[in-house]
């Protein structure tokens, strides 16, 4: 990479680092390799001038006149960036016909997942290195996750008085458009010869509403009906995958995750108290009088949260995220989910979630500077 290109991509890294989920610099420079794989130098120069807030071509053009010759050229470049999964696109219809706006994307959830159709071994290895070196700490810095964990449906009883935002079928029922896509994490692991040990399912991640159109636009998935989505999700639950919708009352995606492939789970499992970083309203509990020590739950748990103590299953509350997978395979009904005393209510929208993250990051920065 030339010195000029290095400067261009460093400027883009610094711009992306101002987003709610930042893009921190590393000693190795792996983040620059990731950006170079996603943007041309010209596209990177334009992206530096873009916002996280959706904007029209006309508005963006005012800031990039020295980079492109015309609005038409800019539109062509932006469309190419969008179809390469480097930026986001928003379609709106305010009564005067459809208007298209463009805006910056996070690395994850965002640019990384958009590469599912073109993922390469080199790119995935760079992503893994970046997660380990810097991005994991960025994602967890505020302890406000982009995802939350909801229990699989068979683990819930009427006595739980479960809120609709924690009920999978209710989330699907109120969704207008759904697309299913391959799991990017599983695909990456396969490229480095570490295939999923949990399931042979591959299409079990869902984009909802406007995000569904995005996935299909990029040829990364296909539309499915609500009933078809529920059937796929039913099998995912049977396979022991963890249900993780976006952390909002109106989520724009649902991930079905395993403990061997999921980049989020595998990275957070390395920490001492993963439960602090998974937004969940439940935790597993074992009735020691009913447990027969069969150890079925040990293999079922994706978080390694269960261990045997004197032949009785014991739940490590620092690791349990309340997914309910252990509950449904317990032949003695010795494991149940308990609702936590303080119910976590997600933000209304993804936009509200990102605002919460930005407010928290500002608070943390003030503390670092000794202002608070």
Residue 362 placed within a domain: no
Structure confidence at residue 237 as a pLDDT band (50, 70, 90) = very high
Instruction: Report the pLDDT value the prediction gives residue 238, as an integer from 0 to 100.
Output: 93
The CA angle 327-331-335, to the nearest 5 degrees, is 35
111 and 179 fall within a common domain: no
Do 120 and 88 belong together in one domain?
yes
Domain identity same for 118 and 212: no
Q: Return the pLDDT at 359.
A: 93
* Domain final position from 221, 249, 268: 268
How many domains does the structure of the chain reveal? 3
What 118-125 contacts at long range (C-beta under 8 Å, 24+ apart), as own/partner pairs, is 118/85, 119/184, 119/187, 119/188, 119/191, 120/191, 121/191, 121/192, 122/37, 123/34, 123/37, 124/187, 124/188, 124/191, 124/192, 125/192
264 and 282 belong to one structural domain: no
The reply to whether 129 and 183 lie within a common domain is no
Boundary-marking domain end, from 85, 111, 138: 138
Helix (H) or strand (E) holding 283: strand 282-286
Whether residue 283 is found in the same domain as residue 192: no
What pLDDT, on a 0 to 100 scale, did the predictor assign at position 368? 76
- The answer to whether residue 89 is domain-embedded is yes
Tell me how far apart the alpha carbons of residues 186 and 180 are, in angstroms, rounded to a whole number.
15
Which backbone phi and psi does 183 adopt, to 5 degrees? -75, 120
Mean of pLDDT values over 70-93? 94
Same domain, 126 and 238: no
Q: What pLDDT score was predicted for residue 93?
A: 67
Is the domain of 71 the same as that of 10?
Answer: yes
Residue 370 φ/ψ region, left for φ over 0, alpha for ψ in the -120 to 50 degree band, beta for the rest: left
Share of the chain above pLDDT 90, in %: 82
Q: Is residue 16 part of a domain?
A: yes
Mean pLDDT of 305-326: 95
* pLDDT score for 371: 59
Tell me, yes or no, whether 93 and 63 share the same domain: yes
Average predicted confidence (pLDDT) for the chain: 93
Residue at 191 is within a domain: yes
Q: Summarize pLDDT for 141-189 with one digit per residue, the tens.
A: 999 999 999 998 888 876 666 766 688 889 999 999 999 999 999 999 9
Confidence of residue 372 (pLDDT cuts 50, 70, 90): low
Last residue of a domain, one of 86, 105, 138: 138
User: What is the reported pTM?
Assistant: 0.91
Domain-embedded: residue 344: no
In a domain, 52, yes or no: yes
Q: Is residue 236 in some structural domain? A: yes
Give the domain range for residue 330: 274-339
Judgement on whether residues 281 and 326 belong to the same structural domain of the protein:
yes
Same domain, 34 and 134: yes
């Amino acid at each position: 990479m030339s010195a000029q290109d290095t400067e261009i991509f460093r400027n883009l890294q610094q711009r992306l680092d101002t987003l709610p989920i930042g893009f921190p610099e590393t000693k190795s420079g792996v983040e620059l390799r990731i950006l170079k794989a996603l943007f041309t130098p010209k596209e990177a120069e334009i992206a530096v001038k873009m916002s996280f807030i959706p904007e029209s071509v006309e508005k963006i053009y005012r800031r990039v006149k020295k980079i492109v010759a015309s609005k038409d050229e800019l539109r062509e470049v932006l469309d190419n960036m969008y179809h390469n999964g480097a930026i986001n696109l928003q379609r709106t219809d305010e009564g005067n016909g459809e208007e298209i706006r463009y805006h910056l994307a996070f690395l994850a959830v965002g640019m990384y997942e958009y590469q599912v159709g073109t993922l390469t071994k080199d790119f995935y290895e760079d992503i893994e290195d970046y997660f380990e070196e810097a991005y994991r700490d960025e994602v967890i810095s505020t302890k406000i996750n982009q995802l939350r964990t909801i229990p699989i449906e068979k683990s819930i009883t009427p006595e739980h008085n479960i809120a609709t935002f924690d009920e999978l079928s209710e989330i699907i029922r109120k969704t207008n458009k759904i697309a299913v896509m391959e799991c990017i994490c599983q695909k990456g692991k396969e490229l480095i010869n570490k295939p999923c040990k949990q399931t042979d399912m591959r299409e079990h991640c869902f984009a909802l509403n406007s995000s569904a159109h995005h996935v299909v636009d990029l040829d990364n998935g296909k539309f499915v009906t609500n009933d078809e989505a529920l059937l796929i999700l039913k099998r995912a639950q049977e396979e022991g995958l963890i249900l993780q919708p976006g952390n909002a009352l109106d989520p724009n995606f649902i991930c079905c995750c395993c403990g061997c492939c999921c980049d989020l789970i595998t990275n957070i499992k390395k920490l001492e108290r993963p439960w602090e970083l998974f937004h969940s309203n439940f935790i597993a509990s074992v009735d020691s009088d009913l447990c027969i020590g069969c150890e079925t739950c040990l293999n079922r748990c994706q978080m390694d949260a269960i261990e045997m103590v004197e032949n009785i299953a014991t739940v490590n509350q620092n690791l349990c995220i309340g997914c309910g997978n252990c509950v449904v395979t317990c032949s003695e009904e010795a494991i149940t989910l308990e609702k936590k005393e303080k119910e976590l209510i997600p933000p209304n929208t993804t936009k509200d979630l990102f605002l919460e993250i930005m407010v928290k990051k500002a608070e943390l920065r003030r503390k670092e500077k000794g202002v608070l």
